[in-house]
Structure 1
Amino acid sequence: MTFVRALSFATLLVLGVIALNSCGGRQAPAELHLFIWANYIDPEVYKLFEREFGVKVIEENFDSNETLRNKLQAGVTGYDIIVPSDYTVEALIRQGLLAELDLQKIPNSAHIAPRFRGLYYDPQNRYSIPYLWGTTGIGYNAQKLETPPTSWADLFEPDRLERYKNRVSMLDDPREAIGAALKYLGYSVNSTDPQQLEAAKNLLLVQKPYLARYDSETYDDFLLTGDLVLAHGWSGEFAKAHVENSNIRYVIPREGGVIWADNLAIPKSSQRIDLAHTFIDFLLRPTINAKIVNFLRYPSTNEAATAHILPEIVNDPAIYPPEEILEKLEWIRDVGDARALYERVWDEIKSR
């Protein structure tokens, strides 16, 4: 060995020792990248997974299914697990953007309740496993309202909104906001009829001057501060707010609303597909799934988790609606080419 080679070897050896010492003599944990809605998991779950498997979960957030879908369609990579809603799963499957799951590597998928197996968007659960579910309706501060809302009319009719002007919000989500308007008008949330969508657009434009904002991320906080008194939103956000202030309530309007399920799926572009299966199976463990539900207050799709969920959650009809309410709810579905029509309507609403 020459002197130069010996010196180089010694230098590398010293650098290696320094690197090991800086890591406490251990390798940095592997990483798994999760693309998920904001505040949609108990952060403690990440710590438990890293402790057991030596894998660090890196979380990135999206604010709508459209944002998630557009990123994947544009070829953005680096995500190992995503959490799309039902109709978005259907679209991503059709576009060939999801990896097929190996259910033998996800034995805890056996705990999924029959109601949530084989749903319309993935009939064989080849590409997705239901994570949590919920409904979309109206949250409100009972202390600030003269009468509690019971209908979509309370969110759309000017004579009912006038006294609460600039203290009302709608979801910043085209399918949800347009869907609520369609439901009020007596149409399906999945309408592709141009005249019905035009009517929904006009209704939302009439409503817009009374709104404080379109908001999908902080409306529950603004209900708690009193800046909002009425908010269009997702059931679990209002359930969490109710824990802090019992005057925050939630109702599904008598005309019906939306039922949805968010799902765990693996993008085809993931470089850690086996590890992604491991994390999905971990989230479906009954005790882990119950921990998430107890933290978020969204209902579980996991039958075996029920025994570990707080009774006050399982027995709350605002979180787990009775059958007679569920029968009035619709799933949002992918509307295919009519998506462009929804986008145009939404752009016109937001730009005015």
Structure 2
Amino acid sequence: MHVRTTSLALSLLCALGVATSAQAAGTLHFANWSDYYPPELLKKFEADTGIKATLDAYDSNETLLAKLKAGGGAYDVVVPSDSFIEIMVKEDLLQKFDKSKLTNLAHLKDTFKTLSYDPGHDYSVPYLWGTTGFSYDSAQVPGGKLEESWKPFFEPAPELKGKVVALNSIEELFVPAAYYLGVDECTEDPKQAQKIQDLLLKQKPSLAMYNSDGTIERMAAGEVAMHEQWNGAFHRAHAQRASLTYVYPKEGIRVFIDNFVIPKDATNVAEAHAFINWMMQPENIAAASNFAKYNNAIEGSDKFMDKELFEDPAINTPADKLSLLKPFQLCSPKALALRAKVWTKLKK
């Protein structure tokens, strides 16, 4: 049955987030970290809005940054981490939100309403958040148990040579190395950066690889004994291999927040806003949490989330470990330049 939609009715439909003929003609090109978004949720978005959506993947913030610098018009929404938001803003790679189209910002939990890297949510909205620690297979490590410290990861036992994997990101290595050595993660002192470089170069021969993809599969299959890993990835691997343990190092563990942003050169801007606003509905973001096994920032999502997430201490940090959580720190260009030099040396 064909129904003529009046302007008033159209306004009401838009306010309710219901698909309209204008939306139905749209397309969304979405890019996210690999294995970090449920494909079936994108199908639900298409069904709810009439917008046709595609999903592409990348393996690190550095890869995403390079893609945006090369021309971000290929994507309408991408998901960088907290530490890369200001870098992308300063390099004019993102566009400001039209917050009148993001009415579901009201659903943000109080903790996430003001964040240091984008206090007014002008460019970013939280997607999922978690911690970056490391996991090990108790069936493969000497003695079956490791110290709750970064020491076993950065200075592995000789028996573990070739059985340890680090994430392929200078940020993910430099920051925990700084925690372990008691160095300021935002140091501008070349001597302090040298200490971190020396530690990472000493660790390198013990590593099987630097790789941010496949962390779940490698640990679940027992291919390696230890892996720097995000807590949600650990949860998914642990479901397949009971002998895995997630470590909260005594020196501290980084909390990360991944975010939805719209690239400066995005072509489907209205659709991008529609998608981000749709993802801030509690049941939709909960579906992403249930798939990726990370927490989110939306009030009311808990009732749609799997109970197992709240029962895993890797996801729901125990009270006695909360003091170990370290939020993102914004470092100076000089400090970041030092990090880049360390990375260049390490990857030679």
TM-score range, shorter chain: 0.7 to 0.9
1:312 aligned to 2:301?
no
- Partner residue of 1:282 out of 278, 281, 295: 278
2:263 paired residue number? 267
State the Cα distance separating 1:212 from its structure 2 match. Answer: 0.7
Deviation readout 1:52-82 (Å, 9 max, x if unpaired): 2222221222211122122223434221001
- Partner residue of 2:33 out of 30, 34, 37: 37
Separation in 2, partners of 1:335, 1:79? 29
Change (3 A) 1:149 1:56: farther
Contact 1:81 1:265 in 2 (8 A): yes
Separation in 2, partners of 1:306, 1:102? 28
Deviation readout 1:260-299 (Å, 9 max, x if unpaired): 1000111121121111011011111111111111111111
State the Cα distance separating 1:84 from its structure 2 match. Answer: 0.8
Contact 2:32 2:56 in 1 (8 A): yes
| Matched AA of 1:297 | K
Contact 1:175 1:332 in 2 (8 A): no
| Matched AA of 2:150 | W
1:333 aligned to 2:323?
no
Deviation readout 1:143-165 (Å, 9 max, x if unpaired): 222213410111122xx421111
| Matched AA of 2:204 | K
TM-score w.r.t. the length of structure 1 is 0.87
1:254 aligned to 2:257?
no
- Partner residue of 2:69 out of 66, 73, 83: 73
- Partner residue of 1:183 out of 179, 186, 190: 179
Separation in 1, partners of 2:188, 2:318? 30
Contact 1:80 1:273 in 2 (8 A): yes
- Partner residue of 2:347 out of 341, 345, 350: 350
Change (3 A) 1:330 1:191: farther
Separation in 2, partners of 1:342, 1:29? 45
- Partner residue of 1:155 out of 135, 153, 156: 153
Deviation readout 1:187-215 (Å, 9 max, x if unpaired): 23332321111111111111111111111
Separation in 2, partners of 1:246, 1:283? 32
1:22 paired residue number? none
| Matched AA of 2:293 | R
2:212 paired residue number? 216
Query: Greater shift after overlay, 327-336 or 43-52?
Result: 327-336
Structure 1 runs (4+) greater than 6 angstroms displaced: none
Identity percentage of aligned residues: 36
1:150 alignment partner, SS class:
coil
Separation in 1, partners of 2:333, 2:57? 25
Change (3 A) 1:216 1:303: same
1:278 alignment partner, SS class:
helix
Contact 1:239 1:249 in 2 (8 A): no
1:19 paired residue number? none
Separation in 2, partners of 1:123, 1:295? 28
State the Cα distance separating 1:170 from its structure 2 match. Answer: 0.6
Change (3 A) 1:324 1:113: farther
Unaligned runs of 5+ residues in structure 1 are 1-27
What's the C-alpha RMSD, in Å, of the aligned pairs? 1.7
1:87 paired residue number? 83
Contact 1:260 1:331 in 2 (8 A): yes
Which is greater in Rg? 1
State the Cα distance separating 1:222 from its structure 2 match. Answer: 1.1
1:207 alignment partner, SS class:
helix
> How many pairs align?
322
1:270 alignment partner, SS class:
coil
- Partner residue of 2:120 out of 121, 124, 128: 124
1:303 alignment partner, SS class:
coil
Separation in 2, partners of 1:343, 1:179? 13
| Matched AA of 2:133 | G
Separation in 2, partners of 1:168, 1:59? 31
State the Cα distance separating 1:320 from its structure 2 match. Answer: 2.2
Separation in 2, partners of 1:162, 1:207? 11
1:44 alignment partner, SS class:
helix
1:11 paired residue number? none
Change (3 A) 1:323 1:122: farther
2:3 paired residue number? none
